[in-house]
Structures are given as structure tokens and as C-alpha cells.
Homo-oligomer: A and B are copies of this chain.
Amino acid sequence: MTTTTTKTGDPLDRGTLDTLLRKRLFYAPAFEIYGGVSGLYDYGPPGCSLQANIVDAWRRHFVLEEDMLEVDCAMLTPHDVLKTSGHVDKFADWMCKDPKTGEIFRADHIIEEILEARLKCDKEARGATVLEKEDADKKKRKKKLKDTQAIKLDDKVIQEYQDILAKIDNYSGEELGKLIVDHGITSPTTGNPLEPPVLFNLMFQTSIGPTTNHPGYLRPETAQGQFLIFNRLYEFNNLRTPFASASIGKSFRNEISPRSGLLRVREFLMAEIEHFVDPLDKKHPRFPEVADKVSLRFLPRAIQAEGKTTTVEKTIGEVVEEGMVDNETLGYFLARIHLFLKELGIDPEKVRFRQHMPNEMAHYAADCWDAELLTSYGWIECVGCADRSAYDLTVHSNKTGRQLVVRETLEPPKVWEEWDMDVDKKWLGPKFRKDAKKIEDAVARISQEDRERLAALQVAGGKVFVEVEGLGSVELEKVTIEKNEKSVNVREYTPNVIEPSFGIGRILYSLIEHIYWSRPGDEARGVLSFPPKIAPIKILIVPLSNHPCFAPIVTALSAKIRRAGISKRVDDSSASIGKRYARNDELGTPFGITVDFQSLEDGTITLRERDGMKQVRGTQDEVIEIVRGILGGHSTFDDALAKFGEFQGQELDE
């Protein structure tokens, strides 16, 4: 296990970070005063604002940039839709019950947990110090694990365990059941044997309307709504393709036993794109813009099949060229996802693109690459980029009888020649009566090759016969066989769907781990170095003290910043300036403005940059303009330092 690091490369202590995040109200367990519900969280003001800024960045990066058609579809979804999409039957996890207590475990998780515990005990028995820190939750649980004595394992067993863990996502229910029996896995709380795994559907079920006749579910993804509205979107787009729809909204997943904080929750914000594309032409017009400019780290199927996790770094142009990534559109989106994550402040060293193994993919996917981010919980899938092929549009179309297709005008029309056989009805009807239809059908089934042969025969003066079931060989006395030109000018096809799907909460949490660090020599004091555009609040206004003489300037300055559309917070508490800035580092606010005695004299204020802690001094308008320039991406704080010079007059007790 690698140790996760902070932004500055020090070991990351998740417990300390968690404490910071809860103290500063980035998030809190939902319904906390009622004891909480696992897998449900509330975002407090900084978390909520951070989430809104990530969503805003996403909308600009994808929706606005590519003129996507954003929609907002219903979350409540009737049973029939999700039955057709396959979710009623296949959106499920395997769970095991402790028959004596009724406690329920997710089958793969319990195997994972126990095997990992045994491996750790083995390490301890071998005298290795297990450095990794654990959060309180896991510790509590660990105490209960029955087999945490320091037992040394056979080298062969270690290898076997490691193989199982590497493939833990890929086992069937039966296989999981066998692993549980073979490896003597029992309930970690009671030591009781577990019942064999059974499927548990992960959708929240409810009933729509006053009767019980309309069962429904909370959507497990935003995608289905976008598929069902396809025809209307296609029309809205003036019947042009390819095009993409997009949707930002909550989805739901009734996890069996949610763990891992914000990473595995029952209610989560997703941002999903459905790009509808011609299955015969998956080129992307903007692919050249990224082809040789963007390099990604790939973990393709072939490497995983060897049981390895070494990544290869290549440009997106190369991997599409060599076929590892199937097509330009898929490749284009992988590159755009990478650029988006970078824009948010994600550490590029902690991103990899992993291809799904065939047996691991969702039931609808033809190919899938995950953008995984490295966190203290391991590599976490944060963005999925799946080729759903024509699966969804086809099944919904079959079920409802409504066509969900693209009609492409062929210019020039497709032209070809075909042999037609035309039996004279005036001869056929009176002669064969009720058998006439049978003969016509038999003629219709004659192949092009046979028709060509029969035509030649006829020209040569031969007679034309057709075999008809129940009638034997029938002579077609009056039949015309000729070659005609045919043409169609419309091609109809069900588009394929490339789906980049973002778990906003997972990205948000991973981002926090990536940009978290502590000032050297002051490890207890965390800093969250969000890029200014993404930071929850942009400016902290700090009067030197809570003396009333500063109030008028603070009020006027606040109003001015508000009018500039920049979010700010005032901290006029009695804590020292250093303490207030430290509080603020924890909130990740990029700029601090100090109002001091000089401000009272000449109206100037100081602007402090969070990461470097350097300051400049200027008028209110100058300072706001600096911040606006940085937020707009036109300039940097170094530009301001160059222009205004570093200000070092203030005595700060940091």
C-alpha cells in the first residue's frame, strides 16, 4: 500500500483532514442530531459553495464550450422505464446475511475487509510496522474483527489473497459465495457463518400517486431521462448530428453498507453527458485540438489482465491511432475530462485512466474507461467514460414502439440495380385463387442470383418454375423479369452513445485531498489551496481589531466587493489576525484583505495571497481589480507583486 501524500508531498493524515473538514463545515453527517443515517451527508456553506463552483466550471468546460443541450429530467422514474433499461434486473449488489443477528454485509466488501486484515496481521507477525493511520470508524470495527491476531501466513496464501483482492470487483455471486466458504469468512461482529450471497437491488423504490398501481424508483443515473427525450432534442437541434445532451442532478443508490465518507453515498450529484454519434463514423471534429497536446496515463485491459497496475503515458492521438482507445469521440472526451480535472486543481500525478475489464462493465456498456483519482482510500473512480453503443435507445424503442433514430439524407442518394420479378395478377388470381398469395410469397423469396439466372433462361426461351410448399413446382406462365435502378436518399440509424459521467461529490473530496497541505513547522495547521476560481469564498476581510473605527470601511468595502460579484466573508472577531488567517487557510480562501490604521488615513488596504502569504497594498479599487483579474484568468498574484511591490509593513503574529 502506498502512503497518500499532501500537495507538498508529506504523508497525508486523513484523520486530521477529516477533523478540519467537519470543523469548517465542508460537510456533516445528515440528520446528525437524530444519530445520522450512513451514506447521507449535508454540505455546509463552504462545501455547498465548492460544489456550486465545480458545477459551474463543468458547465463552462463542457456545456457552453460544446453547445451541449442541457436538460433537467425527473428523478422519480416509473418501473417500466427501469425494467426496460435493465436496472430492475441488473443494478444490484451481492449481500450476505448473518442468520442469527440479521446483520447484512456486502459480499465483496466483507471478503475484501477480512483478507486485507489477515494480510496486515501477517505483516505484523513478520515484524513490519504498519504505518498507515486509520480513521476512528475503521478502528472501532477492527477491534471487533475476530482474526486480527498477528498470524503469519504461507507465502502461497498471501499470493492467493492478493490475486483475489485484485479481482474483487469481477466475481459472480456464486464465486463470492465459494470464496466465503473456502476462506472461512464469517461475520466480523459475531463470528457466525454467513448465508450464501443474494442479489439486492440498489434502487430506492416508491409508489407514484394515491394508489399502489404505479411503482417507481429514484433514478440511479441521469442518463435514462436524456435517452427518453432523444427525439425532441434531435428536433431541437434542427435534426443535426452528432450532438450531445447534458444533465446535472442528484441520483440515488441504496448502498448495502456505505463506507468511505463522501466517496460512497446513497444520494449524490452527477453531471452526465450523452453524446449521440453515428456508429459508422465516430470521428470528432475537434479531436485535432487535443490529439498531440494532451498526454494521459493509461491502465489498459491488457496490463490489468497480467495482474499489473503500471500505467503507460501517451498522447490521446497515439492511443486512438493504435486502437487502444476505440475511436476519436471517446478519445476526445478522455482528453477533455483530463483538462477539466486539471482546471479544478486535481494533481495530474494522481490521475489515471483505467479501462474496464469485460466482466466488470455495467450491463449497458460496450467499452468503458474510468478516470481514477488517487486518494487515501486508494484509486477512486470519479469519472466514467462509457460507450453505451445503441443499447438504451434500442431497448426503449423496442419496448415503446417509438422510433429513436437519426435520419441522414444521403447526398448523392445511394443507387444500385436490382432484379424485379413481376407475376401478372390477371393470370395468377383466376388460375390459383386462394393459393395465389402462396405463389407470390415464394416468388418474393427468390434470390437476386436466381432471378438473374431465370432471366437468362427466359431470354433463351426457357420456362420459369417456382417451388411452392404444398403445390410443388409451379410454372409461371406470365412473369416479367428485369433489372431496375433503385435508390434511397435517407439512411436511418440508431445513434451510439458516448457517455462521460462525473461523480461530483467524489471529485470534490479527491480534490480536497490533492490540494491539502500544512505549513512547514506547523503540521496541525492545514491549508486548502483551491485554485481561486474554485475556492468556496474568494476574499476574507479582516479588520486589524474589532474596534468600531474599522466598521465603516469594512461595510463600504463589503458592498463594493459584492457589487463586483465576488464572494467574501468578514471576520471581525477578537482573535488575532494570525489566528483569523489560519482559520481562513482551512477554508481555502485565496485572498485576505486587511483593514488597518493606515486604511483609516489614506483608504488603502492590503491584499494577502494564501499560499505564499505575501502582501501588496493599494486602494480598494486597485485591490478589487487585482482579484478580479486573477479570477478571470487574465493575471496572477505575481503580476500584482511586480506592479505594486511587496508590502511588509504590517506586524502579523503568524
Contact = CB atoms under 8 A, between A and B. Distances in A.
Interface centre among A45, A49, A70 (most CB of B within 10 A): A45
Interface residues of A, number: 80
A623 to B, nearest CB: 19
Interface stretch (A210-218, A440-448, A450-458): A210-218
A334 B429 CA distance: 84
Given A204-B206, A209-B254, A48 B33 contact: no
B42 A72 contact: yes
A73 interface: yes
A557 interface: no
A427 to B, nearest CB: 47
Contacts of A73: 30, 42-43
Nearest to A202: B210
Interface string A472-512: 00000000000000000000000000000000000000000
A102 B211 contact: yes
A205 interface: yes
A368 to B, nearest CB: 26
Contact of A205 (B38, B206, B238, B257): B206
Interface stretch (A77-85, A351-359, A600-608): A77-85
Contacts of A404: 33
B569 A67 contact: yes
Give the number of times this chain occurs in the complex, counting copies: 2
A573 interface: yes
Interface string A218-250: 100000010011011101101000000000001
B78 A31 contact: yes
Contacts of A40: 74, 76
Nearest to A217: B206
Interface in A34-81: 34, 37-38, 40-45, 47-49, 51-52, 60, 64-65, 67, 69-78, 80-81
B210 A104 contact: yes
A129 interface: no
A44 B245 CA distance: 10
Contact of A210 (B77, B211, B256): B256
A216 B229 CA distance: 30
A437 interface: no
Interface centre among A102, A232, A254 (most CB of B within 10 A): A232
Nearest to A41: B74
A7 to B, nearest CB: 25
A562 interface: yes
A571 B402 CA distance: 28
A266 interface: yes
B210 A28 contact: no
Contact of A37 (B67, B208, B266): B208
A247 B567 CA distance: 17
A70 B42 contact: no
B47 A72 contact: yes
Contacts of A257: 210
A120 interface: no
Contact of A208 (B210, B266, B562): B266
A25 interface: yes
The 6 A-B residue pairs with the shortest CB-CB distance, nearest first, are A30-B74, A43-B72, A40-B74, A42-B73, A33-B402, A45-B69
30 contacts: A24-B236, A25-B233, A25-B235, A28-B229, A28-B232, A33-B404, A37-B74, A37-B214, A37-B216, A40-B74, A44-B233, A45-B70, A45-B71, A47-B72, A48-B70, A48-B71, A49-B70, A51-B72, A64-B565, A75-B267, A76-B204, A76-B252, A76-B266, A104-B210, A104-B211, A200-B210, A206-B206, A209-B256, A218-B218, A250-B250
